[in-house]
Amino acid sequence: MNLKSLPFWGQMLVAVVFAMGIVLVGYKVWPGFTEMQMKTETMQSQLSDLEREIRQGQAIEAKLPEFEAEIASLQAKLGDLLLILPSEPEAGELLRWVKNLADQSNLELQIWSPGALKKVEFYKEYPVHLNIEGTYHDLGMFFDRISKYSRIININGVDIAKLGRNDPTKTIKSSFTATTFVYDDREGS
């Protein structure tokens, strides 16, 4: 069919019907395009978010060896700190160490009386009452050696008295409390 063979009003009618068809099709299809455009924008936004998360994950992954090295360093420091502040009182080891130290300082350990653990914040205090006999100079050397021990030991309530006997190797007796500290690892639990 040739449009030029139709009369003018026929050509106009075909043009109007064709235009109405385009408008009708556009009217029916346009909401779908709008909906598809909104879905596309939503998906683009989600894609951008996922790409950002991937980049963040890759940045963290790139730092993983650094984090692992830091964890290893912190665990080594924790091991060192547990030597200073162990998680158990270790009374036997402490007694052997103090007895050995007293012997090296020419002191005689008379009394070793451990007290009860006393909870203080994230640690516990472990007091031990001691009585020692010897000379004043040897007692000073003993305290100096205690100060160099890897664990923290506080000496409190030092009482020094002269012995009543005439023994040049034992001129004084001293009683004091040596307090060491124990890490309470259950505090964080």
DSSP letter (8 states) at residue 6 = S
Q: Is the Cα dihedral 139, 145, 148, 150 positive or negative? A: negative
The token pair that represents 120 in the structure block: 């203080």
Give exposure, 48-85, as e/b (b: 16+ Cβ within 10 Å): eeeeeeeeeeeeeeeeeeeeeeeeeeeeeeeeeeeeeb
pLDDT in tens, 34-43: 777 888 899 9
DSSP letter (8 states) at residue 85 = S
Following CA atoms 28, 31, 37, 43 in sequence, which dihedral angle do they give, to the nearest 10 degrees?
-110
pLDDT in tens, 44-91: 999 999 999 999 999 988 888 898 999 998 888 877 766 666 656 666
